[in-house]
Amino acid sequence: MSNHREIPLMFQAQIKGRGQIQYIAKPEKAYRWVDEWSEGVGNDIPNFCDTCGGKLRVITKEYKITWRFISNSGQDDDIIRPVIAAAGFPYYPGTSMKGAFLRSCTPEQAIRYCGGNYGAISNQKDSTTKPGILRFHGGYPKDATWKDKELVDVVHPQADWQIKDNNSHSAFIQISLHEPILVFGISSNIELDSSEWDIIWNIWEKALERGIGSRVSAGYGQPTKHPETKLLTVGLSGQGLASQLINKTGEFRPNMFKAALRGHTLRLFAGVTDENSAEALTRELWGGFAGKDGAIVGLLGIAFNAIELDMDEYRYRGNSMPIYELNNGSLHILSMRFISDEYKSELRSLAMKLVQFSLLLGGFGKSWRRIDHRIFFPDYLNNNQKPMIGCHWEFNKGAEKLYIPTNKLENVSKFLTSLNEKINQWVIVHKKMSTTNISKWREVWHPEKVQVWGRIAEDEDDSLAVRWFHGAYKENQSIKGSSLTGKINQIGRIWHRMYPRYSRLKDGTMRRMEDEYIEFITIFPDSSNTTKEFIEFLSKSDFSRIYPN
Burial class for 292, CB neighbours closer than 10 Å (0-12, 13-18, 19+)? exposed
- Please report which helix (H) or strand (E) contains residue 338, including its range: none
pLDDT at res. 48: 78
34 and 62 housed in the same domain: no
Q: Does 40 have pLDDT greater than 70?
A: yes
Distance, CA of 508 to CA of 489 (rounded, Å): 45
Q: What is the pLDDT of residue 1?
A: 46
Q: Are residues 362 and 279 in the same domain?
A: yes
- Do 282 and 260 belong together in one domain? yes
Does 279 share its domain with 420? yes
pLDDT in tens, 315-365: 998 899 999 999 999 999 999 998 999 999 999 999 999 999 999 999 999
- pLDDT mean across residues, the chain: 89
Q: Which of 467, 510, 461, 508 is nearest to 485 (CA)?
A: 467
Within a domain: residue 110? yes
Q: What is the mean pLDDT of residues 522-535?
A: 97
- Where a domain ends, among 189, 215, 241? 215
In a domain, 356, yes or no: yes
Together in a domain, 397 and 361 = yes
pLDDT in tens, 67-88: 999 998 765 555 778 999 878 8
* Dihedral angle of Cα 445, 446, 449, 452, to the nearest 10 degrees: 60
**pLDDT tens per residue across span 366-416:** 999 999 999 999 888 776 788 999 999 999 989 999 999 998 999 999 999
- What one-character DSSP code corresponds to residue 78? S
Rounded Cα distance, 72 and 91, in Å: 10
- pLDDT surpassing 80 at residue 302: yes
Kindly state whether residue 398 falls inside one of the protein's structural domains: yes
Dihedral over alpha carbons 72, 75, 80, 86 (to 10 degrees): -50
Mean pLDDT of 157-177: 72
3-state secondary structure string, 391-440? EEEEECCCCHHHCCCCCCCHHHHHHHHHHHHHHHHHHHHCCCCECCCCCC
Q: Cβ atoms within 10 A of the Cβ of 222, count?
A: 31
Question: Within this chain, do residues 348 and 207 fall inside the same structural domain, yes or no?
Answer: no
Summarize the confidence of residues 525-548 as an average pLDDT: 97
Instruction: Output the CA–CA distances (angstroms, integers) from residue 369 to 18, 379, 390, 401, in the order listed.
Output: 41, 20, 7, 24
CA Rg, the chain, in Å? Answer: 26
Q: Is the pLDDT of residue 436 over 60?
A: yes
Confidence of residue 118 (pLDDT cuts 50, 70, 90): low
485 found inside a domain: yes
Q: Are residues 377 and 395 in the same domain?
A: yes
SS3 string, 112-172, reads HHHEEECHHHHCCCCCCEEECCEEEEEEEECCHHHHHCCCEEEECCCHHHHHHCCCCCCCE
Q: Which of 183, 215, 247 is the last residue of a domain?
A: 215
Q: Examine residue 309 and state whether it is found in any structural domain, yes or no.
A: yes
Q: How many domains does the chain have?
A: 3
Closest by CA to 448, choosing from 237, 290, 271, is 271
pLDDT for residue 210 is more than 60:
yes
Same-domain status, 155 and 303: no
> Helix 255-270 vs helix 410-429: angle between axes, to the nearest 10 degrees?
80
Q: Is the pLDDT of residue 244 over 80?
A: yes
Of 187, 215, 243, the residue at which a domain comes to its end is 215
> Which pLDDT value is given to residue 120?
56
3-state class (DSSP) for residue 212? coil
Beta pairing partners, 452: 522, 547
Do residue 98 and residue 197 come from a single domain?
yes
The DSSP bridge partners found for residue 181 are: 64
Do 35 and 64 lie in a common domain?
no
Q: Domain residues for 209? A: 41-215
Better-scored residue on pLDDT, 38 or 172: 38
* 224 in a structural domain: no
Range among 115-129, 232-246, 377-391 with highest mean pLDDT value: 232-246
Average pLDDT over residues 243-265: 94
pLDDT bin (cut points 50, 70, 90) of residue 25 is: very low
356: three-class secondary structure by DSSP: helix
Give domain status of residue 220, yes or no: no
Q: Are residues 301 and 421 in the same domain?
A: yes
Q: Which residue type is seen at 169?
A: H
CA distance 169 to 161: 6
Shared domain check, 135 and 249: no
Is residue 352 one of the residues assigned to a domain? Answer: yes
User: What are residue 59's DSSP bridge partners?
Assistant: 186
User: What whole-number distance in Å separates Cα of residue 164 and Cα of residue 489?
Assistant: 14
Residue 312: left (phi > 0), alpha (psi -120 to 50), or beta? beta
- Give the pLDDT band of residue 125 (cuts 50, 70, 90): low
Mean pLDDT lowest for which of 180-189, 245-254, 282-291? 282-291
